[in-house]
Amino acid sequence: MTGSSLHDDPALLVHAYLDGELDPVNALAVEQRLATDPVLAAEYERVQALQHLIRERLPRETPSPALVARITAAVAPRRPRWQPSWQPSMRALAASILVTAFVASGSTWLALAPQPAGTVESAVVAAHIRALMAPQATDVASSDRHTVKPWFNGRIPQSPRVVDLAKDDFPLVGGRLDVVGRTPVPTLVYRHAKHVISLTAVPVDGSANSSPAGRRVEGYNILHWTDAGVAYWAISDMAAADLDKFARLFRTTAPDQ
Amino acid sequence: MMNVVSLHAGRRLAYEQQQSGDRRQQASWELPRPTQSGDAVSGGDENTRFANLVLPHLGEAYSLARWLTGNRADAEDVVQDASLRAYRAIGNFAGGSGSARAWVLTIVRHSAYAWLRKNRPAAVVGVEDLETVETAQARPGDPDVETPETALIAKTDGARLEAAIAGLPAPFRETLVLRDVQGLDYREIAEVIGVPMGTVMSRLARARRRLIATLGRSEA
């Protein structure tokens, strides 16, 4: 299929728009067309309904613990005389894989390569992974931002901006405190389908606003931006385009006090 | 093709016997070891890389294999085979900007189709057949462009949705699953399937329209 198919079928752009694959200029063009073309608008609604249906109702299956154990055991060297410490670590790995396979059915386990110590990013990534391996990713579990926001009050000097994105398929799951350096910082946890998103807010005095910039660390997408003196770090294993959409929604949705 | 299909039942039986033999004798499925002990470090490296790059994606590997083969037992065989292939090829994965997830899913997809060609050749639709299907259905008035009410789609239950996805031709099904179930972006899907992004887009749109048309039909 070549580029010409895009002109034959403008609806492909509607799909790409829903998938967060368009740059801002093309996204705007699609939005304008949707407003005036009822056929395209109907396609938009149907595909959106379908995506919602798949996220909410499609049964998910995880590999059986036996399969995971079989594959994990297969990479553990048999009786390695010269490396006695190896086997217990593989067992620990097997255990963590089982836990994660159960928790997330997705790509949520990661052994991070050593990173330059002390960077906010590595602290944020480590906190996200730790949270995924814990029984629950939050210290306070609530989809109500009027519960989550006050929870931070009294624990840290400045409670973060919390917005409700449930209608956009990014429901709030809760919040937790992470530690960056020696400073406790608030992290909001959102969900999108089966993917967990950690959004850490670090107050930074006098920093200029910056637009989201993305990076990829072994299967995780990370977005970093600064708004109104707060540096944000969003991390998830979902597609970069979906994380972009999340950041856009978070930044543009009003907390409607 | 017809000859192959008629042989299919017998071959499948032979395969199952062989498989159940394998299951009784677990040791027959194990990854190859580093050859000599002097090289212990490099063996450890391979295992570590495998643990870092492949194991985190086993859940998704299984999910894709399940959607491509259609059942659990076959999906497990495919994931085992793919894990073995990934282990052997772990040195080829460059890392860096490349996504380990897309790399692993590419191997799973190859394993799944190799398995299907061997055991259920009738289930594999050739790309040529598919392009015919695609062209034929690009015209308006086909089931592809049926337009049911959004409300009707929203009422579908999980089991019916699952059956409708399972009923899609493989090239449409894999594209839809990679995007809407597993959340890969277009670039990653193009990498996994080995087609241009434009093909990903058109297959995805067709897959969704077929699904919508199926779900919109009254439950018969």
Residues B129 and B211 in one domain: yes
pLDDT tops 70 at residue A218 = no
Query: Averaged over A52-63, what is the pLDDT?
Result: 88
Residue B10 forms part of a structural domain: no
For residue B102, give the CATH number of its domain. 1.10.1740.10
The pLDDT assigned to B161 comes to 94
For residue A215, give the CATH number of its domain. 3.30.200.100
Residues A226 and A150 in one domain: yes
Residue A202 forms part of a structural domain: yes
Phi-psi region of A169 (alpha: psi -120 to 50; beta: other; left: phi over 0): left
Q: Out of A16, A59, A90, whose CB is closest to B158? A: A59
Tens of pLDDT, residue by residue over B3-13, are: 333 333 333 33
Q: Is the ipTM of this complex over 0.85?
A: no
Residues B84 and B136 in one domain: no
Residues B85 and B152 in one domain: no
Residues B189 and B173 in one domain: yes
Q: Are B156 and A78 within 8 A, CB to CB?
A: no
The pLDDT assigned to A4 comes to 43
**What values do phi and psi take at B217, rounded to 5?**
-65, 145
Query: Averaged over A5-20, what is the pLDDT?
Result: 81
CA angle A96, A99, A104 (to 5 degrees): 120
Residues B132 and B187 in one domain: yes
Residues A172 and A95 in one domain: no
For residue B207, give the CATH number of its domain. 1.10.10.10
Q: How many CB pairs under 8 A join A and B?
A: 180
Tell whether B122 is within 8 A of chain A (Cβ).
no
* Domain carrying residue B69: 41-122
> Which of A35-39, A166-170, A220-224, A228-232 has the highest average model confidence (pLDDT)?
A35-39
How are strands ordered across the β-sheet holding A230-236? A140-141, A172-180, A183-192, A195-203, A230-236, A220-227, A210-217
Amino acid occupying residue A194: K
Residues B134 and B206 in one domain: yes
Give the Cα separation of B96 and A241 in Å (integer): 19
Residue B65 forms part of a structural domain: yes
Residue A185 forms part of a structural domain: yes
- Look at chain A and report how many structural domains it folds into: 3
The pLDDT assigned to B197 comes to 92
Tens of pLDDT, residue by residue over A139-181, are: 788 888 888 888 888 778 778 889 989 888 899 988 888 887 7
User: Which one has a higher pLDDT value, B40 or B173?
Assistant: B173
Q: Out of B33, B76, B183, whose CB is closest to A239? A: B183
pLDDT tops 50 at residue A109 = no
Mean pLDDT rounded to a whole number for chain A: 77
- Look at chain B and report how many structural domains it folds into: 2
Place of tokens 């931070």: A152
Least confident range from A83-97, A100-114, B103-117: namely: A100-114
* Domain carrying residue A176: 120-252
Residue B36 forms part of a structural domain: no
Residue B171 forms part of a structural domain: yes
Residues A52 and A70 in one domain: no
Tell whether B47 is within 8 A of chain A (Cβ).
yes
